[in-house]
A and B are shown apart, each in its own frame.
Chain A
Amino acid sequence: MILPYFVLLPLLAAFLIALLAGKKDDWAIALSFMATLSILALSVFGFITMREQTFTYAMSGWNIPIGICLVQDALSLFMLFMISLIALTSLCFSVQYIRHLAQDWKYYALFMLLLTGMNGVVVTGDLFNLYVFMEIALIAAFALVAYGCRAEEYEASFKYAIMGGFSSSVILIAIALTYSSTSTLTLAGIAQALPGLDQRLVMWIAALFLVGFGLKAAAIPFHTWLPDAHSSAPAPISSMLSGVLIKALGIYVLIRLFYNVFNAPPLFMNLLLIIGSVSIMLGVFLAIGQWDLKRLLAYHSISQIGYILLGLGLATPLGILGAVFHLFNHAIFKSLLFYGAGAVEMVLGTRNLKKMGKLAHLLPITAGTNMVASLSISGIPPFNGFFSKLILIIAAIQAGHPVYAFWAILGSLLTLASFMKVQRYGFYGEVEHQKPNIMPGKLIHAAMLILAVICLLSSLFIVPGIREHTLDPVVDVINNKIHYIELVYGRAL
């Protein structure tokens, strides 16, 4: 069984880093690279060989009604692949960027804990276990946001921690209500017990979960922490937070709970549609007026999360396909955009678009990859963002919601406008720059180039013939809804 190692390897790496690393960071870098590479390899291996099946793993040998179980299916393997891919490129980016800030092993230990938490949330099949892993990821994220030791970072981290504490309380109340009414914490067991309960209570529980995890996903009424936290963090952490953390802790859990446990109640699907469409529009409007590059990108995260929620709210197979595809694509291009912003910040020491100017000659690779990512996020063919948005729009029309389709197109146009502003002022502007004394190194370029290539390649996921082997198993898991119960109980032991 490969399942427990997704949690154990980064956890072991984190503690070994704390134990072995002296003053320098060589050991820390080596260990964290080893752990991340091995979970990337494991997730690719798992996805290729076991994507059609569902496995459970009973922790410490206690079977399902008593113990905690881990569940592995196409959706969790897909998420694990996405998380480890972004984590690997983030580590590549971190080596020079973090040495430029401070040479320290603590960063890598925290990074590994962040990875542990996210992997744990994705593999676990137990509600409280999910809560614990979520908190591990969040505490690591709070500390990493404040890593740069500037006043604004402390402030952002404080705000994030307070909001995170509030949402965790709400989630814990929901867990308490669930346990008291179903007497189990295994997700499959809860799904089994829910239809026999008073449906008003179920709706209340679902509403509490929606508030709690919606806050983690930064959907629009709960988004206030995101722009501060994501723009103040060091660039590789911004990309981890925006690229995968809000998806692993927010979107993934919402998918698992609302599809596989609550069986997609229509009321909440409509709520997701509304939250999604409001997020698309408000996020992009808030973004378009920003002059701080990372803040602009952070607001776009809200808007893109809106697209994913829109696809989920449609609750048709095509809508789910669009949502899953956009989930992956957003992780890739948003991380790439944050790397670009981080490289510029490292070289020029500014995030203000007005002060950037002519960077296309100074940083050709950064400018090029940033262009790819900008085209991708604003939905220009042949980049991946175009295809996922196209699927979402077609799905909205097919499901009989042309208004939402129009809304999504409008949001996409505004995204294009705001990224034209980024390109115009940020990379092809008038301000001339001297040769700076620090330039991005090979690893940073490698991280950006890998993601830029994936931006182009992942459009292929949608080609018939490849789609059946990549996205369709994931969509099946989501679309089968509470068939999840049989899958989990069928292969217990």
Chain B
Amino acid sequence: MILYLMCFALFLVGLYGLLTKRDLIKIILSSAIMGYSTNLFLVLFGYRRDATYAILTPNNSGQAMVDPLPQALVLTSIVIELGITALLVALAIRLYQKYGTFDITKMRSLKG
């Protein structure tokens, strides 16, 4: 249980950063932390005590295995987050070109 609560704490760290930071790079990092906490949460559900990895090899047939599905899901979600982070970094670089700063309080072409 404590592990799940710590995951939630990590999620809140990300959310806090997302809401309070003004630097584009820090916002991207906060968003990434939030994603990692979710992935950790998901992969923890697949864990079984004293179980081996979920791949059939000549040595470990017959033993209890961890649940492989959350691992596959997490791998997919990591790839998705990689894509989103790359896109966010590209946007941050372009915003830096336009404004000469990473500070979001100085970017004011959208309002209302």
**CA of A180 to CA of B39 in the docked complex: distance in angstroms?**
14
Residue of A nearest to B19 (CB): A166
Which residues from chain A contact B84 at a C-beta distance below 8 Å? 135, 139, 142, 161, 164-165
Q: At the interface, yes or no: A295 with Cβ under 8 Å from chain B?
A: yes
Q: Are B110 and A155 in contact (CB under 8 A)?
A: yes
A164 to B15, CA, bound (A): 13
Question: What is the minimal beta-carbon distance from B26 to any residue of chain A, in angstroms?
Answer: 12
Within 8 A of B (CB), among A206-232: 227-228, 232
Q: SS class of chain B's interface: helix, strand, loop or mixed? A: helix
Count of chain A to chain B residue pairs whose CB atoms are closer than 8 Å in the complex: 96
Cα distance A161–B110 in the bound complex, in angstroms:
15
Given A151-B109, A166-B31, A227-B112: A161 in contact with B91 (beta carbons within 8 A): yes
A152 interface neighbour in B24, B73, B87, B109, Cβ under 8 Å: B109
**Which residues from chain B contact A439 at a C-beta distance below 8 Å?**
none
A161 to B107, Cβ gap below 8 A? no
Interface of A is mostly: helix
Task: Report the minimum CB–CB distance from B102 to chain A (whole Å).
Answer: 11
**B42: min CB distance to chain A, Å:** 4
Taking CB atoms, residues of chain B closer than 8 Å to A165 are 31, 34-35, 81, 84, 88
Q: Which residues of A contact B24 (CB under 8 A)?
A: 158
> Does A176 have its Cβ within 8 Å of any Cβ on chain B?
yes
**Closest A residue by C-beta to B43:** A176
Residues of A within 8 A of B95 (CB): 151, 154-155, 158
Asked if B41 contacts A173 (CB within 8 A), the reply is yes
A176 engages B87 (CB within 8 Å): no
Partner of B99, one of A149, A151, A180: A151
Q: How far is the CB of A458 from chain B (nearest CB, A)?
A: 33
Q: Binary interface profile of B, 60-91, with partner A (CB < 8 Å = 1, else 0)?
A: 00000000011001001100110110011001
Q: Which residue of A lies closest to B94 (CB)?
A: A154
The answer to whether B87 touches A139 (Cβ under 8 A) is yes
Q: Flag if A179 contacts B45 (CB, 8 Å).
A: yes
Of all chain B residues, the one with the shortest Cβ separation from A134 is B80
Q: Counting CB contacts under 8 A, is A413 at the interface? A: no
Please list the residues of chain A having a beta carbon within 8 angstroms of any beta carbon in chain B. 128, 131-132, 135, 139, 142-143, 146, 149, 151-152, 154-159, 161-162, 164-166, 168-169, 172-173, 175-176, 179-180, 185, 227-228, 232, 286, 290, 295
30 inter-chain pairs at a CB distance below 8 angstroms, sorted by A residue, are A131-B77, A132-B76, A135-B84, A139-B80, A142-B87, A143-B87, A149-B94, A151-B98, A154-B91, A154-B95, A156-B110, A157-B91, A158-B24, A158-B91, A159-B110, A161-B91, A162-B18, A162-B27, A164-B84, A165-B81, A165-B84, A168-B80, A169-B11, A169-B34, A172-B42, A176-B41, A176-B45, A179-B69, A180-B45, A227-B112
